[in-house]
Structure 1
Amino acid sequence: MTESKDFASFIDKLLSKNCPFALWAVPGSNIPEILISCNEELVYPAQFNKLNGQEGFIFAPYHIEENTPLVLLKPGIYKKGVEDIMGIGLGQIQNEEKYEEPGEHSFVISQPEYLTDIAETIAEIKRTKLAKVIVSRLIPFQRQQESLGEVFLQLHRQTPKAFVYLVNLPKAGLWMGATPEILLKSEGKTLETVSLAGTQSRRNDGDYMWHTKEIEEQAFVSRYLLDVFYKFNIHPYYTQGPETLESGKVAHLSTSFRFAAKKLAFNLGDFIAELHPTPAVCGYPKSKAAKFISQVEKHNRRYYTGYLGPWRLNGNVGLFVNLRCMEILPQQYVLYSGGGITARSVPEDEWEETNKKATTLLSAIEAVQNR
């Protein structure tokens, strides 16, 4: 992807129109893609399994609620590559009214409060059948006068192996992120999903040592994926991993699962509805973890740990779990960061893990602010 200030300027001008759009680059690609729509052409499916037969770009929340709907951008203006994107005539795109910003970002908790929440989570795990729970928090960071187009390009340069995106939607808001986690991706006649969990700081020498806590955490996710495969009669399937996946400033344990796309030819939406949210973003067992999260987290996750990406766009599926993401408000960035809590967790370590994960976005913002 070009480092051209012209492209950054184009993105900023598009943002000024406030029209619905999704701009993204898939892992390992320097070729950005964009889908631009208008408010009247957006679709809001009532349930995750209502995606069968649809196509476009999906922006899905953690839970579907009135203020966090599942959004589908239908194919409107679709372009691929910097040159073609910058050839879009901005004059033909109508300006949309500003939507009300959500007012739920006051639930930023202190380190002592977070450590208390984690200690209570560990105690709950030890006395119940919970095995793992994801507990997240909000990290605010002040905006200055920096170009959001430049922040997007900087984020892509720093995380070339991630799905890097910028999405602007009514009701959902303005979001940016760089997520390494595949929810479901097509490649020819094959579909791939990934079990991703466990985090440590990225090492320059590539010599990673994984502890029992991180290995167990990732194994929960793999076990859940296989349970879903069984429900949909998916076999045979092929696995690769566990192996280390580097993304931005951190590294994770990853196992990929591949199977024939024809297995889900008519019920792909149902499969996604069953898959989401995975234990990687919720916990295990999923229903018990989700109930506990609703009690321990003080904020609404909104689109954090939801999923997004092209959905049957030109016949391709490329959905990613919405990790390493932030909502962009007029005065500040609100970063979402969480960690997988097990009986072996140490509260202070979990606090540091959320900070490490936030550096993926913070380093890109600061690089642009300090120019």
Structure 2
Amino acid sequence: MNIVGFIKDHFKQGLPFVAYRKPGAKSISAFFQETDRLFQTDNYSESGFVFAPFDNAFPSILIPESASEVVTEDLEYDLNPNFGLYEEFSENSKEDHINLVTKTIHEINTTRTRKIVISRKEKVALENADFINVFLKLLATYRRAMVYVWYHPRVGLWIGATPETLLKLNRQSFSTMSLAATRPYENTLNVSWNTKELEEQSLVTDFITNKIANVSKDHKTHERETVRAGNVVHLRTMITGAIEKGGEGLSRLIKALHPTPAVCGLPREAAKQFILREEGYERKYYTGFLGEIHMQNNSELFVNLRCMELVDNVAFLYVGGGITAESIPEEEWEETKLKTKTLKKVL
């Protein structure tokens, strides 16, 4: 039985699984858990695949290597015809989001908060939804992203194609990235970024380097660059370093980085509390993180962006953007619309 067959069988039986392809990889990997037990972790000492929420006050879900069949294979993308979709978000979604962005700018201008990432959830009703086909189409469309389908009967069904690495850890060597600012991809990476976008990305970079200094005394910040993620481009700075030997290195890195200013804001705790208080819905696993931990001395985690939660024949799409004092509410709304196209292309 191939991975698609395993996915169908596990979903039918209500058993947890995750199938995914890392950026640029040719093969698909998967964990198929043997029971429906809900495993959780907060110290990240186990081997397996972790699925973590935005709110780090809650534990992460783990599909353990020891309780799963782990499969890797090359996969042909046998795509079915597109199925229909029609949107069911309320008419005041735009007004609500613009009002929230305006309130967020006021918060930034009247407090010490410098950046807050505001998001929204869009409901899309589907006809003849087939989550496996959505997953296969994401694989075929976004080869430079971490593409995944994740399921637990007690949590839900999530699918995504995220461009952002939270961190990679190989023994003691790690790398992470500062990713921020969004523009449409217009057949070139030669982009003239404005002051607001450059400042937004610099805030993320400064935060990460300051936090990493508490974990690693030897780290390097690389040149800022423009990178493509599907139909958009972002500003990215890579940061590399090494940690001391010991069993708590991964946990310390995660706690230092998550949630990053790219998905939360600065100062982190103040921005997080504003989000939890004002955003008006629960992000759940959107802007959390996911990936392998302690697999053959490697851990590779990705920020859960460009994702959707599927419930029966309804897809909930999650998108957001970083707000600073220079933000223009109407443009922030348009940016979220641009980001939903990444997922709507496969619906």
**1:154 partnered with 2:137:** yes
1:294-318 deviation digits (Å, cap 9, x = unpaired): 2221100000010000011222111
Aligned partner (choices 26, 32, 55) of residue 30 of structure 1: 26
Aligned CA distance change for structure 1 residues 109 and 138 (closer, same or farther; 3 Å): farther
Aligned partner (choices 45, 60, 70) of residue 52 of structure 2: 60
Q: State the Cα distance separating 1:194 from its structure 2 match.
A: 0.7
Aligned CA distance change for structure 1 residues 352 and 37 (closer, same or farther; 3 Å): same
Contact 2:172–2:245 at 8 Å: present in 1 too? Answer: no
Aligned partner (choices 226, 233, 241) of residue 223 of structure 2: 241
Q: State the Cα distance separating 1:22 from its structure 2 match.
A: 0.7
Aligned CA distance change for structure 1 residues 172 and 268 (closer, same or farther; 3 Å): same
Aligned CA distance change for structure 1 residues 195 and 108 (closer, same or farther; 3 Å): farther
* Count of residue correspondences: 333
Contact 2:174–2:242 at 8 Å: present in 1 too? Answer: yes
- In structure 2, runs of 5+ residues without a counterpart are 76-87
**1:296 partnered with 2:278:** yes
Aligned CA distance change for structure 1 residues 195 and 263 (closer, same or farther; 3 Å): farther
| 3-state secondary structure, aligned to 2:104 | helix
Q: State the Cα distance separating 1:363 from its structure 2 match.
A: 0.4
Write the distance in 2 (CA, Å) between the matches of 1:109 and 1:74: 43
Amino acid at match of 1:216: E
Amino acid at match of 2:267: P
Aligned to 2:312: 330
Amino acid at match of 2:184: S
| 3-state secondary structure, aligned to 1:204 | coil
1:134-176 deviation digits (Å, cap 9, x = unpaired): 0100111112214322211111121111100000013321000
Contact 1:8–1:147 at 8 Å: present in 2 too? Answer: no
Write the distance in 1 (CA, Å) between the matches of 2:257 and 2:327: 25
1:33-48 mapped onto 2 (5 Å cutoff): 33-39=29-35, 41-45=37-41, 48=42
Q: State the Cα distance separating 1:248 from its structure 2 match.
A: 1.1
Aligned to 2:188: 205
Amino acid at match of 1:59: F
Contact 1:108–1:138 at 8 Å: present in 2 too? Answer: no
Q: State the Cα distance separating 1:271 from its structure 2 match.
A: 2.2
1:170-205 deviation digits (Å, cap 9, x = unpaired): 332100001111111135752111111111111213
What is the root-mean-square deviation in Å for CA atoms of aligned residues?
Answer: 2.3
Q: State the Cα distance separating 1:70 from its structure 2 match.
A: 1.6
Aligned partner (choices 78, 88, 109) of residue 70 of structure 2: 78
Write the distance in 2 (CA, Å) between the matches of 1:81 and 1:205: 33
| 3-state secondary structure, aligned to 2:213 | helix
Aligned to 2:83: none
Contact 2:115–2:265 at 8 Å: present in 1 too? Answer: yes
Write the distance in 1 (CA, Å) between the matches of 2:262 and 2:130: 33
Write the distance in 2 (CA, Å) between the matches of 1:224 and 1:74: 32
1:211-233 deviation digits (Å, cap 9, x = unpaired): 1111111111111111212222x
| 3-state secondary structure, aligned to 1:161 | coil
Contact 2:129–2:313 at 8 Å: present in 1 too? Answer: no
Q: State the Cα distance separating 1:288 from its structure 2 match.
A: 1.0
**1:347 partnered with 2:329:** yes
Write the distance in 2 (CA, Å) between the matches of 1:182 and 1:283: 17
Contact 2:243–2:249 at 8 Å: present in 1 too? Answer: no
Aligned to 2:12: 16
Mean Cα deviation higher: 239-248 or 257-266: 257-266
Aligned to 2:269: 287
Contact 2:116–2:271 at 8 Å: present in 1 too? Answer: yes
Aligned to 1:97: none
**1:216 partnered with 2:204:** no
Contact 2:177–2:237 at 8 Å: present in 1 too? Answer: yes
Aligned CA distance change for structure 1 residues 332 and 146 (closer, same or farther; 3 Å): closer
**1:178 partnered with 2:161:** yes
Aligned CA distance change for structure 1 residues 334 and 9 (closer, same or farther; 3 Å): same
Q: State the Cα distance separating 1:270 from its structure 2 match.
A: 2.5
Aligned partner (choices 101, 105, 114) of residue 97 of structure 2: 114
Amino acid at match of 2:64: K
Contact 1:108–1:137 at 8 Å: present in 2 too? Answer: no
Q: TM-score, normalised by structure 2?
A: 0.89
1:117-136 mapped onto 2 (5 Å cutoff): 117-136=100-119
| 3-state secondary structure, aligned to 2:330 | helix
Aligned CA distance change for structure 1 residues 123 and 185 (closer, same or farther; 3 Å): same
Q: State the Cα distance separating 1:259 from its structure 2 match.
A: 1.1
Aligned CA distance change for structure 1 residues 7 and 30 (closer, same or farther; 3 Å): same
Mean Cα deviation higher: 281-290 or 236-245: 236-245
| 3-state secondary structure, aligned to 2:305 | coil
Identity over the aligned pairs, expressed in percent?
36
Aligned CA distance change for structure 1 residues 69 and 190 (closer, same or farther; 3 Å): closer
Aligned to 1:356: 338
Amino acid at match of 1:54: E
Structure with the higher helix share, 1 or 2 = 1
Structure with the higher strand share, 1 or 2 = 2
